Amino acid sequence: MTFLQQVVAANPLWVWLLALGVGGATFGLLKLLKWLVLRHLGRRLERTPSEGIRLLADLVRRTQALFFLSLALLAASLALRLPPQAVRGIEILAIVAFLVQVASWGTRLITHWINREIRNQLEREGNAAAATTLNAVGVIVKIALWTVVLLLALDNLGVNITALITGLGIAGVAVALALQNILGDLFASMAIVVDKPFLVGDFIVVGNHMGTVERIGLKTTRLRSLSGEQLVYSNSELLRAVVQNYRRMTERRAVFTFRVPFSTPLEKLARVPELVRGAVEAQPLARLAWAVPREFGDHGIVYEVVYYYGSPDYSAWREVHGAIHLALLGKLRELGVELAYPTWVVHTSPPKEEAGGT
């Protein structure tokens, strides 16, 4: 019997050397592959900088040596005859290393997404409060990810996690019941930040109140009303309400009416829509939809005017709206048409006996 054929722990010595070679080669190849991928990605970044390539390079860089070592050990064990306990131990080590590696990649992806959203909030929208909320969201998601990894690792180690999960579930229900309003507002804050129904600086109407969004916090959203006071809404209350966001308008529709007397000549009545068009379209960004006699009112003929103003700026629209009214009034006066005002004509007749006596 040669030296290499000597049996050590149920395997010839040459098999142990073979397993050592397989493990070393596997580990070396994985490290070489990591280096080659990083080198390739580094060259691509030099030519065309890209956030996606930078993220991929960071994920590859975060691939731990422990993960490679567990894979190498698993590959080496395939060449050996080992007791079931040893095989199971190597498999558990590989699974745990894989779970930890996945959690590391997931943490980096979450951090990347949170940082990108924070940059968008700060640079494009100037929303520092939303950035704070996103940081809290990132911490919660990371904790949830590592909790799942820990439970899976314990399960593979043979720990009965059923009772643990049950206990955590009961505790979670108790905490959720105690903090349901706070948690509801917290998740509502996340929904507002992610879905973006409104942003800081938007002018919104909620129920009978209106104002400009000043801050979106973890529990409340604060508005500054037109009269100056601050309105504070819980985030869950805002999500349940119908919110009118005027900043998202591309143009503003305006409607107004005016009356002219019944005694106005027909030829002048026919020219009124033309005068309205001239008054509206003389203003920048304003276009007329229609100006028509709508009905015979109690005190005159009612004209309805609908026009569009091509900007969501409320202050600018109010100035244009007032200018249209003044211009229309001047054009009607030039035409000799007066605006109708409430008048009543009372007809009286003498008593019948007086009428018969005359």
Which segments of the chain belong to CATH 3.30.70.100? Answer: 252-335
Which segments of the chain belong to CATH 2.30.30.60? Answer: 196-247
Radius of gyration of the chain, Cα coordinates, nearest whole angstrom = 39
Residue pair 76/23 in contact (Cβ under 8 Å)? The answer is yes
- Residue 47 phi/psi, 5-degree rounding, is -80, -50
Long-range contact set of residues 88-96: C-beta below 8 Å, sequence gap at least 24: 92/156, 92/157, 94/70, 95/153, 95/156, 96/70, 96/153, 96/156, 96/157
Quick one: 316 exposed, middle or buried, by C-beta within 10 A (0-12, 13-18, 19+)?
A: middle
Long-range contact set of residues 163-169: C-beta below 8 Å, sequence gap at least 24: none
Mean pLDDT of the chain: 83
* CATH number of the 196-247 domain: 2.30.30.60
With cut-offs at 50, 70 and 90, classify the pLDDT of residue 163. low
- Cα–Cα distance, 107 to 253 (Å, whole number): 48
Cβ contacts of 115 within 8 Å, gap of 6 or more: none
Find the mean pLDDT for residues 308-316.
87
pLDDT at 3 over 70: no
Say whether 24 sits in a helix, a strand or coil.
helix
pLDDT at 2 over 80: no
The larger pLDDT score, comparing residue 152 to residue 272, is at 272
Give 282-298 pLDDT, tens digit per residue: 999 999 999 999 999 88
Beta carbons within 10 angstroms of residue 121's beta carbon: 23
- Cα–Cα distance, 145 to 173 (Å, whole number): 19
Give 80-132 pLDDT, tens digit per residue: 777 888 888 888 888 889 999 999 999 889 888 888 877 776 666 555 556 66
The larger pLDDT score, comparing residue 199 to residue 170, is at 199
The domain made up of 252-335 has a fold known as: Alpha-Beta Plaits (3.30.70)
User: Which range has highest mean pLDDT (155-164, 215-224, 329-338, 343-352)?
Assistant: 329-338
